[in-house]
A and B are shown apart, each in its own frame.
Chain A
Amino acid sequence: MKALILVGGFGTRLRPLTLSFPKPLVDFANKPMILHQIEALKEVGVTEVVLAINYRPEVMLNFLKDFEDKLGITITCSQETEPLGTAGPLALARDKLVDGSGEPFFVLNSDVISEYPFAELIKFHKNHGGEATIMVTKVDEPSKYGVVVMEEATGMVEKFVEKPKIFVGNKINAGIYLLNPSVLDRIKLKPTSIEKEVFPRIAADAKLYAMVLPGFWMDVGQPRDYITGLRLYLDSLRKRSADRLANGAHIVGNVLVHESAKIGEGCLIGPDVAIGPGCVVEDGVRLSRCTVMRGVRIKKHACISNSIIGWHSTVGQWARIENMTILGEDVHVGDEVYTNGGVVLPHKEIKSSILKPEIVM
């Protein structure tokens, strides 16, 4: 089987992290985001992944080369020279996706984190005999999204309602699809929206089905959702493979610590923390609801909550970092400095406190 991952552009919503790496390579729970998806695809027998990308494909391919061998999966890029929307890239990659086997192929939105229940998706798809399956997820405020109206028993999609003012349902498109090759015949090589143009037409032919995504779902395309997404991911990890989470007297709730990271005495870590490879967390440090990326050093008595600490940054002694502070790559926060919602671009030194949320260029 094959899969197409819609990577898209600059990932501006996840800046300043995406100033250093393309969004799919930004770490999430100690692993580049896209690897979560590629590994799950590999598990259900996908042999080739096509990345639809329009920005710096060479960085991606260089990075992913190692994983091709490690996972035994082929990874290629399909580069748009002009924006093609969410469906156009499928037409562009048509030759790579169609191999004559007639097997359906996956299409994934790269921002989405979930348990990726691809095996169930394949089963569901084969059972209904339609042309395409989309996964849907339940949301609290459907009026913010495009709602998928479906037949409860069969999952057959009746229609899509964009940002409904009156309640028509609470399931929205989760950005995970399994499509028969015939769907490609419905897409032309021009800017097209798969959600707004292609799917409604398949639904009109009664050949589009929706499967409710079990487990959690989060679009982690922006910092706040990234932090929430980590909580949901770690909750799910607790249920699936609790042995991968840290334990001990200094751990509260779900915490992921890379085996190469070092943690000092008298720390209190958690809940919902990921500490990446090579990190050093010195004595008396408090971490909660945060991501500490590869190579970071957190010095003694620092306290970090609800924040993301970018690669190879350092946080000084008695520093306090909170409230959606995002430190880009190689940022250095001085001793005793307080940052409340500071968004700091890469390679900066922060010597005085940031009392109100602001962007440090």
Chain B
Amino acid sequence: MAGSEQRVVAVIMVGGPTKGTRFRPLSLNVPKPLFPLAGQPMVHHPISACRRIPNLAQIYLVGFYEEREFALYVSSISNELRVPVRYLREDKPHGSAGGLYSFRDYIMEDSPSHIVLLNCDVCSSFPLPDMLEAHKKYGGMGTLLVNKVSAESANQFGELVADPETNELLHYTEKPETFVSDLINCGVYIFTPNIFNAIEDVLKQKKDRANLRRVSSFEALHSATKALPADYVRLDQDILSPLAGKKELYTYQTLDFWEQIKTPGMSLRCSGLYLSQFRHTSPHLLASGDGKMSATIIGDVYIHPSAKVHPTAKIGPNVSISANARIGAGARLIHCIILDDVEIMENAVVIHSIVGWKSTVGKWSRVQGAGDHNAKLGITILGEAVDVEDEVVVVNSIVLPNKTLNVSVQEEIIL
């Protein structure tokens, strides 16, 4: 048995309902962390990656959604993975470091030697066991997962410079205006419990500064507290930037896939990435078929066991079909997410689209996106309970819940 000095606790930041507005209209129905990618809730993928860490004692989900939104999921995943998963609700956003700090008593309950911290809206293979080994070797307080991206896209993220020999984090800057580096922060960290001391130092400094201001000017205090509350601590600006170059923080570069899941378009892409990862990690989750007894399957496809797919349908690549969905005779699905209780009728075609819960796509209808995951209307999204009538074509459009489409639309947002 491993000693207590080997224990690991994982914390996954899931955000809250006021975040993730870019994920509408899908986040109107379900908290974004529970939106299914490759047939599993988004948060399931980091959770099962954490499960692969040796001596994992506990997983906490931290966010400001209502408890009940996560209750069912947390209880079933704890059972499934045989590791305690608990949702901790922040009374208000504290920033990712502040959030971590506010639950330090829970996190330290198991006296972990290491804390894994990650953001739920990151799509990655999460190479946590290897990263943990590297972290132990570096001997610092924290290790960041980093990724090389194109120079043009780097400024959307935290850019950083690492020592090529020692991998030490030398410089960190969040979303800079000018180019600093094409290495970026992936939002996945391993810390020793000393991180709490570092956060405490920041909190102390903030408090001191606030006190100073109170003496000098009431007005200054007012505006400062309005901008950021005193107990709000950002991991990037408040911890990573000041500690860079002080032999406290190190980097571990992933050569595997990594994406941020901010928009529905990216969720479709990330669903595909997770499906292709299943090919190596959980091939039993992927469907197969040649059109004789069951539908023809092309590439990586997930079909929930309760979904009914007609043998003459052709599915894939990159399709995930959720619970109780019905796919009719001669339907064709390519690069799409079909959510619970959807009905796709005979000979309908769905390409580069997300079809929301309880929606129906009529006979010979066509729901299609261009497949540009970064464009605003690059994929077609049908919200909950949208009815596309027979033979209607919906191209590059977003349809909000509870609409019936009886004429074709293209490049439209339908309220």
Measuring CB to CB, which residues of chain A are less than 8 angstroms from any residue of chain B?
Answer: 266, 268, 283-286, 288, 300-301, 303, 305, 317-318, 320, 322, 336, 338, 340, 353, 355-356
A-B contact pairs, 19 of them (CB 8 A): A266-B329, A266-B330, A266-B347, A283-B330, A284-B346, A285-B347, A286-B347, A286-B363, A301-B330, A301-B349, A317-B332, A320-B349, A320-B366, A322-B393, A336-B332, A338-B368, A338-B393, A340-B395, A355-B410
Complex: A166 Cα to B82 Cα, angstroms: 86
Contact between A301 and B393, CB atoms less than 8 A apart? no
Which residues of A have CB within 8 Å of B368?
A: 338, 353
Contact between A336 and B351, CB atoms less than 8 A apart? yes
Which residues of A have CB within 8 Å of B230?
A: none
* Contact of B396 with A by CB under 8 A: yes
Count of A-B contacts judged by CB separation below 8 Å: 57
Contact between A284 and B347, CB atoms less than 8 A apart? yes
CB closest chain-A residue, reference B334: A336
Contact between A340 and B346, CB atoms less than 8 A apart? no
Complex: A283 Cα to B332 Cα, angstroms: 14
CB closest chain-B residue, reference A285: B347
Interface residues of B in 289-333 (CB under 8 A from A): 312, 314, 329-332
Contact between B366 and A338, CB atoms less than 8 A apart? yes
Complex: A264 Cα to B332 Cα, angstroms: 18
* Contact of B364 with A by CB under 8 A: yes
Contact between A266 and B396, CB atoms less than 8 A apart? no
B74 to chain A, nearest CB (A): 40
- Give 15 new A-B contacts, CB below 8 A, not counting A284-B330, A336-B334: A266-B329, A266-B346, A268-B363, A285-B347, A286-B364, A301-B330, A301-B332, A301-B347, A301-B349, A320-B366, A320-B393, A336-B351, A338-B393, A340-B395, A356-B410
Q: A284-B329, A284-B330, A286-B363 are in contact. Are A318 and B349 (CB under 8 A)?
A: yes
Contact between A303 and B410, CB atoms less than 8 A apart? no
Complex: A284 Cα to B314 Cα, angstroms: 13
Contact between B393 and A340, CB atoms less than 8 A apart? yes
Which residues of B have CB within 8 Å of A286?
A: 347, 363-364, 391
B120 to chain A, nearest CB (A): 34
A68 to chain B, nearest CB (A): 44
Which residues of A have CB within 8 Å of B331?
A: 301
Chain B CB within 10 Å — which of A286, A301, A322, A340 has the most?
A301
CB closest chain-A residue, reference B395: A355
Which residues of A have CB within 8 Å of B410?
A: 340, 355-356
Contact between B395 and A303, CB atoms less than 8 A apart? no
Interface residues of B in 363-378 (CB under 8 A from A): 363-364, 366, 368, 370
Query: Please, what's the 1-or-0 string for B378-415, where 1 marks a CB less than 8 Å from any CB in chain A?
Result: 00000000000001010110000000000000100000
Contact between B346 and A303, CB atoms less than 8 A apart? no
CB closest chain-B residue, reference A300: B330
Which residues of A have CB within 8 Å of B346?
A: 266, 284
Complex: A303 Cα to B351 Cα, angstroms: 15
Interface residues of B in 105-129 (CB under 8 A from A): none
Interface residues of B in 336-377 (CB under 8 A from A): 346-347, 349, 351, 363-364, 366, 368, 370
Which residues of B have CB within 8 Å of A353?
A: 368
Complex: A139 Cα to B56 Cα, angstroms: 82
B182 to chain A, nearest CB (A): 32
B334 to chain A, nearest CB (A): 7
Contact between B332 and A303, CB atoms less than 8 A apart? no
Complex: A303 Cα to B393 Cα, angstroms: 11
Which residues of A have CB within 8 Å of B312?
A: 284
B366 to chain A, nearest CB (A): 5
Contact between B396 and A355, CB atoms less than 8 A apart? yes
B309 to chain A, nearest CB (A): 15
B141 to chain A, nearest CB (A): 52
Contact between B351 and A305, CB atoms less than 8 A apart? no
B353 to chain A, nearest CB (A): 13
Complex: A320 Cα to B350 Cα, angstroms: 12
Complex: A266 Cα to B329 Cα, angstroms: 10
Complex: A300 Cα to B349 Cα, angstroms: 12
Which residue of A285, A318, A322, A340 contacts B332 across the interface (Cβ within 8 Å)?
A318
Contact between A305 and B330, CB atoms less than 8 A apart? no
Which residues of B have CB within 8 Å of A266?
A: 329-330, 346-347
Closest 9 CB pairs of A and B: A284-B330, A318-B332, A303-B364, A286-B364, A301-B347, A301-B330, A284-B347, A318-B349, A320-B366
Which residues of B have CB within 8 Å of A301?
A: 330-332, 347, 349, 364
Complex: A355 Cα to B314 Cα, angstroms: 23
Complex: A283 Cα to B311 Cα, angstroms: 14
Contact between B330 and A338, CB atoms less than 8 A apart? no
Contact between B391 and A305, CB atoms less than 8 A apart? yes
Contact between B395 and A338, CB atoms less than 8 A apart? yes
Contact between B349 and A336, CB atoms less than 8 A apart? yes
Complex: A268 Cα to B329 Cα, angstroms: 14
Complex: A283 Cα to B347 Cα, angstroms: 10
Which residues of A have CB within 8 Å of B330?
A: 266, 283-284, 300-301
Which residues of B have CB within 8 Å of A284?
A: 312, 329-330, 346-347
Complex: A82 Cα to B410 Cα, angstroms: 47
CB closest chain-A residue, reference B366: A320
Chain B CB within 10 Å — which of A283, A285, A318, A322 has the most?
A318
Which residues of A have CB within 8 Å of B347?
A: 266, 284-286, 301, 303, 318
Contact between B366 and A303, CB atoms less than 8 A apart? yes
Which residues of B have CB within 8 Å of A336?
A: 332, 334, 349, 351
Complex: A303 Cα to B391 Cα, angstroms: 8
CB closest chain-A residue, reference B368: A338
B380 to chain A, nearest CB (A): 12
Complex: A320 Cα to B394 Cα, angstroms: 12
Complex: A284 Cα to B312 Cα, angstroms: 10
Which residues of A have CB within 8 Å of B314?
A: 317-318
Which residues of B have CB within 8 Å of A340?
A: 393, 395, 410
Complex: A318 Cα to B346 Cα, angstroms: 11
Which residues of A have CB within 8 Å of B349?
A: 301, 318, 320, 336
Chain B CB within 10 Å — which of A283, A317, A355, A356 has the most?
A355
Chain B CB within 10 Å — which of A283, A288, A322, A336 has the most?
A336
CB closest chain-A residue, reference B332: A318
CB closest chain-B residue, reference A304: B364
Which residues of A have CB within 8 Å of B351?
A: 336
Complex: A356 Cα to B396 Cα, angstroms: 12
Chain A CB within 10 Å — which of B329, B331, B332, B364 has the most?
B364
Complex: A301 Cα to B391 Cα, angstroms: 12
Complex: A301 Cα to B328 Cα, angstroms: 12
A231 to chain B, nearest CB (A): 17
Complex: A130 Cα to B340 Cα, angstroms: 76
Complex: A268 Cα to B330 Cα, angstroms: 13
Complex: A288 Cα to B364 Cα, angstroms: 12
Complex: A355 Cα to B351 Cα, angstroms: 13
Which residues of A have CB within 8 Å of B395?
A: 338, 340, 355
